[in-house]
Structure formats: C-alpha cells, structure tokens
Structure 1
C-alpha cells in the first residue's frame, strides 16, 4: 500500500516583477507585472507504507513547497496527489488525523504551559480515548526519556528536551505517516543518536512511514535506505544510498607511505592496465585514486608488495555528503 502517491505534481507561484527607476515605480502603481515561478515541476513520487525516505535538496530546490502540498497546507497547481488515501488539501480535517509533523524551527507545543498539559490538549484535539492515550503516552515517555520535565513549561526546556517532546507530540495519536523537517538541527551528537534510535524503533514497531527532510546527511545515512533528491523543482535522483555511492562516488582514495621514495613512473608501471591514477605528495607519500567499481585495493597491493616496502596504508571512501555536493555542483544525476 502506498502512503504517498504523486503524479505530475506541480506548484506555481505568481511573483510581482518591479520595473526599474522612478518611471517604472510609477507605472507599477497602475499596471503591475507578474512572472510565474514553478517551484515544483511535474514530480512523480511513490512511497510505500513503512518506508523511511530522505528528501533532500539545496535551498530553493522545492523541498518545503513539496512538504506543504503533502501535508495539505498548499494546494497543487496541477497533478494528482494522494497521501494515506486522502486528498491532503480538500479532505484536510480527516487527513490530518493520519499524519504527524515535526518542524525543527517551529513548535506545536504551547510555550507557557507544562509539557504534560500540551499533550493533554493534543489528546482532546485528536479525540484519543483515555486508555489508549495513557498506554501509548507511557511508552513515549519511557523511550524518549522525557518523564523528568513533563511538568515544566516548554519555554524552560533545552533544545534537545524540546525536540524530544515535539516528537512525542507528533506521535501522540499514532499516525501512519510522519513528516520530519530538520528534526535534529542544533542538537548535540548524543541527543541526535537518541532521536535516531527512537525513530528506527517507531518505524520497526508500528510500521510508521517517515519522510525526512534535512541538510544533515548523517541523519539520512543513519535512518534512510532510500533517498529522493530534488533540484530546481525536479527529482534528479530516486533510489537507495548504495546505488547513489556506486553510480556517483568518485571511487576510493588510498594513501600510501613507503619506506623510501620511489619514482612515480615505477609505481605507474607496476599497476599498468588498472583503472587508477597516482599522485606523489612529496617524500615517501603517495595517493592512489581508484575508479568506482573497477580495480580493487587488494589487486593493486598484490602488484606492489613484492617490489616496494609499504609502511602505512589508509583507505578513504567518498561520504554521502561529498557525493551529493558533487551531484549538485556538476549536475550529473538523473531521475
């Protein structure tokens, strides 16, 4: 079953265009000119129930506009959209009971009242039966470790404490789908890991579908098996992280320190025919660049060890962040 199904989903905005100079400003008073910006351009997106999907893109790529359409805040200009079987904008009242939303920069908790009272207000809004609420709330409090500050006003919580409470609030009605927008922004390493562990647990125990938008690609690596990449309103990549690395990684980089300096042409001669490139970094240090998916480190070393004395070796893999940066810089990805 699909949690999200979008076909040719498009959102356009009319933007006022001002003319230069005093004459232009005067003309704008009587005859305004507009231009149309297509923020999301005919995207096709399918997310199965129970998936954890990373939705990434540079600022202005169209991520926020997409999320606003998926959550019913904005109505699409054209295209077909179903989320949890609903039209998010036209069936908003029924639809919002099936989703949870966490925005890292915005709060759904009441600022001046105790956290516990915010949860009780949400219970009434979602019309959750007392027994169901208490059982589920006890579980959230235990796993998120928020019991010690339930009676404190939200404004007195640290950022890490507030984000854990935001997660509890988003999951209080056991939604089938959760939207997370920068859920770990500004948090320290330990709190981030606790939140990631909790999200994996929720996904595993309840089958909750999670759509994660973030600039912190370590969140994507820790949580998502699939990533959707957006650029200028279009999806330029939709697939698993492993394929992303295989297709767009620059291969491995191997640092070698030898017992003595060796002419570069000697190393090149010993590895002739392999898909690689040598660099001499000065003295006894060399860097070996291996093309992705071709020659392996073991094959290279087998040719070298009988001819040169290797004192130290260090292998570097391209990170997801490196790969994504390269894709946006060079425009090498395709949907």
Structure 2
C-alpha cells in the first residue's frame, strides 16, 4: 500500500430507483452505476478517467471521496477507507468540480481562501507559502479582492484549483477542470498541473471530455462505460484501439473538387471549405505540406476527435479487446 495512492478491488455501486409502471403503480429496480471495477493508481501518477455521460465516472469519484459508500468491493485512498473515515481523508485530498464552485459566492477570493485555511486548520506559514505559489502560477494576483460572483468561468476555475491545493493534498480529483475555458486559460491550468505533479508528486485523477487534457497531462488513461472498465493504458494507444480520426478543415482560395491526397480522405465539401479525415495517430504536418503544395490555401484548422467518438469506435470493434489490452499492462487489475 505504501506505493499506491488509490486502490479499488472489485468495487460496485448499486442504486435502487422507483419507476412508474402504469397509472397508479410504481416498481422498484436496481441500477448498477459501477460494476466490479478494479484498478490501482501509484503515488505521483497522473491518470485520466474518462467516458461518456452516465458511464459511472462521477459515482466512482464520490466513492473515492467518501460521499457514497460502495455496495461491494474494497476501496482505499492514501491507505484510508473513504466511507469509514471521511473527515480524516478530507485533509489528504483535494477536489475540483468544473461545474460547481467550492468558493464563497459573495466573498472576494482572498476571504474565501482564509475560510479554507480555517476549515482545514492549515498552519499560517504553510498557508501563505501555498497561496503565494498558487497566485503566481495561476495568475490570480489581480483577482484576490474580486468577489467570486464577478469572476469569469476561467478565473473562477483557476481560483477553485488554488483553493483545493492550499492544504497540500496528496491526491487531487479534477472533474472537467478546463470545461468552458478559453485557450489561454486552458494552457495556464495545464502548465500549473504539470508543475504541481513534478514538484510535489501530487497524485491526480482527471475526468474530462477534452482529449488534449489527457494527452498533455496524463501518462495513463482509463475508459469507463456502463459502469465497467473498458481500457487501461497509454493515451497514444487509446487512439489506436479506437481507430479514431482527426479532421483537417481547409479553406481554399476558391471552390474546387474534393481534395485527393495520400493519407487522408475528404468527408465534406462546402464551397471553398473542405473537411479531410486522417488517422489520429498520424502527424498532420506532412498532410498539410502536401495540400499546400497542390492547392492555394487561405486558412486551415485541426479538430481533435472527442471521447465519445473514440469510445463508439471501440464498441464497434467489440468491447473485449480494449479491456484485454488494458489488463495486459499489468496496471488495471481487472479480473
């Protein structure tokens, strides 16, 4: 256990729900939100935990924080059973929910952070050192006196990340930390998280719908769907397993027939704009060079596949292969 921050062994969570079955009758049914998941996360590891809406991600995070109790299986975070000792665990973890703030809506950021210090009983010197570091790296200096309700989404997200780190958590759960952020804010958040992991060895479990977050931050990614672990391995291999494609959007100087170029296929044409699909594992640079040599370009952009597309392709070729490949890494513990 000394080298492991998170351990799940055959963990399940079943909810009992009541559904209407006729005009005056209701029936009780069981919904298995998490279905026998097993995995281990080493201390200092940054892991992506992804899947479509309703896959079981949030239920897993709630069990890891002690909000929910597993219906079956064994679960430990920093050596602690979250459901049995939630208060002690709270001092060793940090949580950021992209859609919900943990800050006080009517207070300036500085006052919110002061309340966080008291809540976690952080020693003043340690608190001030952590706050100074977060303010500098997340560019929060000009925002400390601004009430939370007046912050933009990107500013509030950076403020929430700082609040989650003021007590030096060993494990950090991030739920959609870059959702709705502009390019600059996303870059700041990603850089900060990389530096945090390198400098302090903080273990990070990240849920996101942005594959770029996974590729830039995570050395490992797990895919969950319908409560089951489908894949556990390297982000680059996930693209290969899902046979995903990226899309190059090309704006030509004038309308032209569909572009024919090695390594890609034209999937859509609207006037001078054309969409070309190519394997996500391939580099876009040679493709761009070949198109530019043969056609007058006005503009171009690159679109990454979303996670739902990757998972859909994994399903299309059968769910067993991805899980088997993940288990072969020796990290998932799927049994």
Q: TM class by shorter-chain length?
A: 0.7 to 0.9
Q: Is the contact between residue 245 and residue 320 of structure 1 (CA under 8 Å) also seen in structure 2?
A: no
Task: Give the equivalent residue in structure 2 for 1:198.
Answer: 192
Q: Is the contact between residue 249 and residue 318 of structure 1 (CA under 8 Å) also seen in structure 2?
A: no
Deviation string 1:50-70 (CA, Å, 9 cap, x unpaired) is 111111111111111111101
1:169 pairs, out of 147, 151, 163, with 163
1:106 paired with 2:97, answer no
What are the ranges of 5 or more consecutive residues in structure 1 without an aligned counterpart?
255-263, 265-275, 282-286, 298-309
Task: Give the equivalent residue in structure 1 for 2:179.
Answer: 185
Task: Give the equivalent residue in structure 2 for 1:259.
Answer: none
Deviation string 1:126-154 (CA, Å, 9 cap, x unpaired) is 11111111112111111111111111211
Task: Give the equivalent residue in structure 2 for 1:321.
Answer: 306
Task: Give the equivalent residue in structure 2 for 1:67.
Answer: 61
2:144 pairs, out of 134, 141, 150, with 150
* Cα distance change, pair 331–78 in 1 and its aligned pair in 2 (3 A): farther
1:247 paired with 2:232, answer no
Deviation of 1:233 after TM superposition, in Å, equals: 0.4
2:9 pairs, out of 7, 26, 44, with 7
Structure 2: how far apart are the matches of 1:18 and 1:76?
Answer: 27
1:213 paired with 2:207, answer yes
* Cα distance change, pair 288–125 in 1 and its aligned pair in 2 (3 A): closer
Structure 2: how far apart are the matches of 1:157 and 1:72?
Answer: 30
- Length-normalised TM-score, structure 1: 0.77
Structure 2: how far apart are the matches of 1:251 and 1:196?
Answer: 24
Paired residues in the alignment total 293
Q: Is the contact between residue 243 and residue 310 of structure 2 (CA under 8 Å) also seen in structure 1?
A: no
What are the ranges of 5 or more consecutive residues in structure 2 without an aligned counterpart?
249-259, 269-275, 287-292, 296-301, 324-335
* Cα distance change, pair 92–253 in 1 and its aligned pair in 2 (3 A): closer
* Cα distance change, pair 170–331 in 1 and its aligned pair in 2 (3 A): farther
Structure 2: how far apart are the matches of 1:58 and 1:180?
Answer: 16
| 1:50 partner SS | coil
| 1:151 partner SS | coil
Task: Give the equivalent residue in structure 1 for 2:329.
Answer: none
Alpha-carbon RMSD: 3.4
| 2:91 partner SS | helix
1:53 paired with 2:13, answer no
Q: Is the contact between residue 244 and residue 310 of structure 2 (CA under 8 Å) also seen in structure 1?
A: no
Q: Is the contact between residue 12 and residue 72 of structure 2 (CA under 8 Å) also seen in structure 1?
A: yes
* Cα distance change, pair 320–44 in 1 and its aligned pair in 2 (3 A): farther
